[in-house]
Amino acid sequence: MSIELTGNPKRADRPKAADEKRTRQTSQSWTPLQKIAFRIGFVYFVALCIPAYGNFYRDLVKLFDFAKLTYHDFQAIVAFWPPQFILIESEEGVFGIYNYINLILLLVLAIVIGLLWTFLDKKSTQYSKLYYWARVLVRYRLAYGMIGWGLKKAFPMQMVYPTVGMLNTPFVDMAEKKLYWSHVGVSFGYTIFLGFAEILPGLLLLHRKTASLGGALAAVVCLNICIANHAYDAGVAVPAAYFTLLGLFVAWYDLPKIGELLAGGKDVAPYRYNPILTGAQNKLRWTLKVFFNLIFVPVAAAFWAYGFFNGNNYNIPSTPGLPGIQGVYQVSEFKWNGKTLPYSPTDSIRWHDAIFESWSSLSYRTNRAALIDRMIGYSPLRVKGDRGESRYNQVNTQDSDELFKSSQNRDLGVTRWEVGGMAGYRRYFFYELDTANQILQLQNKNRDHRQETQRLHISRPTAERVVLQGLNEFRDSIYVVLDRVDKKYPLVAGRESAITQFP
C-alpha cells in the first residue's frame, strides 16, 4: 500500500472551478423581476442611509472642535435616523408607532422611482456593481449605529441602577419605559452584556467576510429591541425597526445560498463581487478603513469611557450630595408657619417622608400630585431640529453635555432620569449648599415646576437626624425633623447575598 503525495488532481481543480462558477454567477443576466426589485431596494436603502436633516451636518462639523469633544458628539453622528416626511409627536415621543408612516412613505417613493428607472433603463442586464456599493453603504451605516448604541450600555448610562427614590415608589406610579429600563439597569453585568450584544454585530459588519453574519445578528437584536419598545412604550421602536431592515438587507446577500445549503442539502459555492480598483482608489479605500475602523471606533469608545468614569453620565447627576446623608427618612416633626401638623395621608403640605440620594437630590412625598414629566432617558429630538415649543419633548437633552463642556454645573441639564416617567406624589429638588451659612438652595427638577424653589437651613444633630428650617416653595415657614430609617430592600439584599455566597 502506498500513499500518493502529489495531491488529488480533482482537489487542485476545485479552486479554479469555483472561481469560474463565481464569475458566471456575478456576470450572468438578472431576471426582469430581480432588476425591478433591486431598483426599488437600492433607492429605498440608500435613502435610509443618507442623513436628511441639517443638524447631522452641524454635528459633523463639531467633531473638529477637538477641545470640546464628548461622547454626545460621536453619538449624534452614528445615531441619525431615516428621513422624516411627517413628524408625529405623541406620549411615546417622536418615534412612536405612528411614525412608521415615514418608512412606508419612503417605500412608496422608492417604488415610484424604481418603476421610472425600469422604464428608462432597457439595456442593463445586471447591477452587481451597484449592489456591492449599496451593501457597503448600508453595512457601514448599520455597523457604526450598532456600535454607538452598544457603547451606551457597555458603559452603563442608558439603563442605570434604580435610585433610592424609585425603590420607594409604587410600580403603578412609573411609566412602562421606566420599569423596563430599571429592571435591566438592576443588573450591571446584564446591561454590559446587552451592550456587547449590539457592539459584536457592529464589529462583524465592518468586515466583508463576516458582514452577513453581522447583519443577521443585528436584525435579531434590533427586532427584539423593537418588540420590547412596543411592549413597554419605550419610544424608540421605529429606529429599532429601521436597524432591523438594514440588517436584513445586508444578510440577504447570502441568505439564498444559506437556504440552499441548509434546507436543500446542496453543495454551494459562495460568491463575492469585488470591484476592480485602481492603485489610488485602493489606497483611499484602505485609508478610510483604517481611519474609521481603527481610529474612529476606539476613540468613540474612549470618550464614552471618559464620560462614564468622569461624571458626565447623561442620566445621573454628577454633583456629590452631602457626605453620609443618603437614605430614606421619616418625618418625625413638621411645623408649618409655626403650627405643628400631625401625620395625615391626605395632607398636601406636610411631608410624608424624605429621601436624600448620593448626589445632590432631595425628594419628598406629599398628597399633592405633580405634573408627570414624560421625558425618560436620552430621547433627543434632532430630526427636525430643536423645537422649544414641543409639548412632549420639552427639553434640550444636550444641555448636560454643553454645561459639562463649559465646566458648569450640569445637573439641571440632565435628562432627569430620577424624575422622568414618575407620577404620584414625590417631588424632586436639586440642592446647593451655602457652606458658610449652612443653607440649602433647592430647585425643583421637574421642568413643569421649575418655578418652585426653597431656602432651608440644615443642621445634623446626629448622623441619623437632619433638621431643615426655612421657606418652602410657597414662601411659607416650615420646620422639619427627619430621622433616617434603616430600610432593607429585598432586591439589593438578595444580590449582595448572592455575591457573598457565589463570589
| Per-domain boundaries in the chain | 16-309, 327-501
Report phi then psi at 260, rounded to 5.
-65, -40
Q: What pLDDT, on a 0 to 100 scale, did the predictor assign at position 7?
A: 39
Q: What is the pLDDT of residue 177?
A: 82
Q: Domain 327-501 has what CATH class?
A: mainly beta
**pTM tops 0.85, yes or no:** no
Identify the pLDDT of residue 70.
Answer: 83
Q: What is the DSSP letter of 91?
A: T
Q: Point out the residues of the chain with pLDDT beneath 50.
A: 1-23, 378-397, 498-502
Phi and psi at 364, nearest 5°, equal -145, 160
**Average pLDDT, whole number, for the chain?**
83
The Cβ of residue 47 has, within 10 Å, a number of other Cβ atoms equal to 16
339 burial level (CB within 10 Å; 0-12, 13-18, 19+): exposed
Which pLDDT value is given to residue 470? 96
| Closest by Cα among 208, 202, 205, 206 to 273 | 208
Residue 495: per-residue pLDDT: 59
* Maximal C-alpha separation, the chain: 110
Torsion over CA: 127, 130, 133, 139 (sign)? negative
Q: pLDDT digits over 169-216, tens only?
A: 888 888 888 888 888 888 888 999 999 999 999 999 999 889 999 999
In angstroms, the CA 341 to CA 56 distance is 55
Between CA 226 and CA 456 the distance in angstroms is 46
| Residue closest to 415 by CA, chosen among 312, 328, 302 | 312
pLDDT (0 to 100) of residue 386: 42
Q: Are 470 and 317 in contact (CB under 8 A)?
A: no
Which of 445, 443, 465, 448 minimizes the C-alpha distance to 456? 443
- The one-letter code for the residue type at 301 is A
